[in-house]
Amino acid sequence: MPKISVSEEWKRKKVIDLFAQHKISIGRAAELLDVSIADMLGIAKEHNIDFVGYEKGDLKRELKILDEIAAKSKLTEEDAIELGRKINKSMHERLKKEHPEYFKDLSE
């Protein structure tokens, strides 16, 4: 295992902490640690971090867009909930297919 300097270890812990608090996205955390998003998913799993979080600005922007769409939409609330369930299921299946190693503990 390569030696890591104290400052590199501090940076790694700080980035992981910010990511765990959802203050930075998984993409930003990966960028700061100079690792791939797949590697960052592994780090999240090692630290039991929910890796689905958003940065505050991202979430606010997306909620604003969704509000604008909802104002123009003829979908009922029930239809929107069902659509959301289908999207969540699809995203989960894709992630499970692309990264089965993150789900192996869940099936045992």
pTM: 0.46
Model confidence band, residue 1 (pLDDT cutoffs 50, 70, 90): very low
Q: Which of 64, 63, 77, 59 is nearest to 22 (CA)?
A: 59
pLDDT of res. 16: 94
* pLDDT average, residue stretch 55-61: 70
**Other beta carbons within 10 Å of 41:** 20
* pLDDT average, residue stretch 27-32: 90
Percent of the chain past pLDDT 70, that is, above it, reads 86
Using alpha carbons, list the distances in angstroms from residue 1 to 4, 76, 81, 99, 108.
9, 55, 48, 24, 30
| Residue 7 pLDDT greater than 60, yes or no | yes
